[in-house]
Amino acid sequence: MISEKENQRISKFLSLVLRHQPESIGIRLDENGWVDPELLIFKMNQHGFNMSFEILDYVVATNNKKRFAYNESRTLIRASQGHSVNIELGYESKKPPAILYHGTAERFSESILKTGLDKQSRQHVHLSIDVEIAISVGKRHGKPVIFEVASEAMFADGFVFYLSENKVWLTDHVPVKYLKLGFTEIKG
């Protein structure tokens, strides 16, 4: 269909447009982050991409992090989470597992140990049930470190958690008292 390199290029551009800068190609996301895929394809073609529904479907289906999702009728598409634009994803609060993980670069660990995990420019702090995924996230920013999050204790204390369509756990803030600095690499 398309090369892996082109798939990656389109996926990165979709992340930029659907999570952070829809205006960069002249689209507007609705209040829940959705956009008509026909319009998205048209606008991407105007900006140097050779897009079609088939290519968009392929990119959505093969994205290893499941960053994009269609609505049930496949008439709308959006990013699953990670937005810096203000949208309401419509997720319902869920009880998280006892422990979740957050991967980041080692250079941020001292600050995190002072202030906790903040969402910064995004709408939520992203947490994973899988240590390997947390490590790969941390590696994107430098030498990885992993924080264990006492998510069950947070939930019991009234903190709200959501589970995104692509199985990323989301919350607004993780205070220091719920954090434990884990390990920086997988042994073995």
Q: Tell me the domain boundaries of the chain.
A: 4-79, 100-181
Instruction: Give the per-residue pLDDT at 89.
Output: 76
Q: Which residue has the tokens 């079609």?
A: 52
DSSP 141: T
Q: How far is CA 75 from CA 37, 52, 176, in A?
A: 7, 14, 42
Output the pTM of the full model. Answer: 0.69
- The pLDDT mean for the chain works out to 91
pLDDT digits (tens, 9 = 90+) for 45-102: 999 999 999 999 999 999 888 889 999 999 999 998 888 888 887 788 999 999 999 9
Q: Which CATH architecture has domain 4-79?
A: Orthogonal Bundle (1.10)
The vertex-124 CA angle with 108 and 15, nearest 5°, equals: 90
Which pLDDT value is given to residue 149?
A: 97
Cα–Cα distance measured from residue 46 to residue 30, given in angstroms and rounded to the nearest whole number: 21
Tokens of 185: 């690499």
Percent of the chain's residues with pLDDT above 70: 97
Assigned architecture for domain 100-181: Alpha-Beta Barrel (3.20)
Instruction: Please report which helix (H) or strand (E) contains residue 149, including its range.
Output: strand 144-149
Provide the residue type at 175 as one letter: P
